A and B are shown apart, each in its own frame.
Chain A
Amino acid sequence: MIPLTHSLIIAALLFSLGLLIILLRRELLFILMGLEVMFNGAALTAVAAGQYWNNADGQVLTIFLMVVTAAELAVALILVWLAYEHFKVTQIDMLTQLKDDTRGEPP
Chain B
Amino acid sequence: MSQFLWLIPGTPMLGALIIALLGGLLQRRHLAIMATCAAAIAFLVVLLTWLAGAATSQPLQQTLYTWIAVGDWNPTIGFILDRLALIMVSVVSGVGLLIHIYSISFMAEDSDQRRYYFFLNLFLAGMLILVLADNLLLLYLGWELVGLCSFALIGFWYHEPMRASAGRKAFITTRIGDMSLALGIFLLYSQFNDLSLSYLLANAAAQWEAGSQLAILTALLILGGAIGKSAQLPLQVWLPDAMAGPSPVSALIHAATMVTAGVYLIARTYPLFELAPHVQWSVAAIGAITIIYGASAALAQNDFKRILAYSTISQVGYMFLALGCGAYALALFHLVTHAFFKSLLFLAAGTVIHSSGNEHNIHNLGRLGNHSPLVRWSFLIGAASLAGFPLITAGFYSKEAILTATWSAPAGPLLWVFAAFGVLLTAVYIFRVYFLVFQGSQSSASMPSVSGSMTWPLLILALFSLIGGFVEFPEGWPAPHLWSTWLEDEFKSVVLPPLAIAYSLQFITSLLPLIGIVLAFVLVRRKQIGHSLPIIVFLRRGWGFDALYQTMLIQPYFSLARFLKNTDTLLVEGTLQKLTHACLIFATACRSGVEHGVLDKSINGLLAGLRFGYARLSATQNGLLTRYALMISAGAVFLLSYWLW
Q: Are A23 and B569 in contact (CB under 8 A)?
A: no
Q: Which of A61-69, A70-78, A91-99 faces chain B?
A: A91-99
Residue in B566, B624, B633 whose Cβ sees the most chain A Cβ within 10 Å? B624
Size of interface on A: residues with Cβ below 8 Å to B: 18
A5 at the interface (CB under 8 A from B): no
A83-107, CB under 8 A of B: which get 1 and which 0? 0000000001101111110110110
User: B490 contacts which chain A residues (CB < 8 A)?
Assistant: none
The 10 closest A-B pairs by CB, nearest first: A100-B621, A96-B623, A99-B623, A98-B623, A102-B572, A92-B625, A100-B618, A22-B629, A99-B622, A106-B569
Give which listed residue, A24, A26, A95, contacts B623 with CB less than 8 A: A95
Give which listed residue, B620, B621, B624, contacts A93 with CB less than 8 A: B624
B568 at the interface (CB under 8 A from A): yes
User: B622 contacts which chain A residues (CB < 8 A)?
Assistant: 96, 99-100
B630 at the interface (CB under 8 A from A): yes
B488 at the interface (CB under 8 A from A): no
B573 at the interface (CB under 8 A from A): yes
* Shortest distance from the beta carbon of B429 to any chain A beta carbon, whole Å: 49
Residue of B nearest to A16 (CB): B633
Compute how far the CA of A15 lies from the CA of B617 in the bound complex, rounded to whole angstroms. Answer: 29
User: A29 contacts which chain B residues (CB < 8 A)?
Assistant: none
Q: Are B623 and A102 in contact (CB under 8 A)?
A: no
A19 at the interface (CB under 8 A from B): yes
Q: Are B629 and A23 in contact (CB under 8 A)?
A: yes
* Shortest distance from the beta carbon of B615 to any chain A beta carbon, whole Å: 10
Not counting A96-B622, A99-B622, A102-B618, a sample of 15 additional A-B residue pairs whose C-beta atoms are within 8 angstroms of each other reads: A19-B633, A22-B629, A23-B629, A23-B630, A31-B626, A93-B624, A93-B626, A95-B623, A96-B624, A98-B623, A100-B623, A102-B569, A102-B572, A106-B568, A106-B569
Of the four ranges (under 10, 10 to 19, 20 to 34, 35 or more), the interface on chain B belongs to: 10 to 19
Residue in A24, A99, A102 whose Cβ sees the most chain B Cβ within 10 Å? A102
Compute how far the CA of A27 lies from the CA of B186 in the bound complex, rounded to whole angstroms. Answer: 46
User: A19 contacts which chain B residues (CB < 8 A)?
Assistant: 629, 633
Q: Are B565 and A106 in contact (CB under 8 A)?
A: yes
Q: Are A102 and B626 in contact (CB under 8 A)?
A: no
Residue of B nearest to A105 (CB): B569
* Shortest distance from the beta carbon of B569 to any chain A beta carbon, whole Å: 5
Residue of A nearest to B571 (CB): A102
Q: Are B623 and A23 in contact (CB under 8 A)?
A: no
Which residues in window 47-61 of A have CB below 8 A to B?
none
A-B contact pairs, 5 of them (CB 8 A): A23-B633, A93-B624, A98-B621, A100-B622, A106-B566
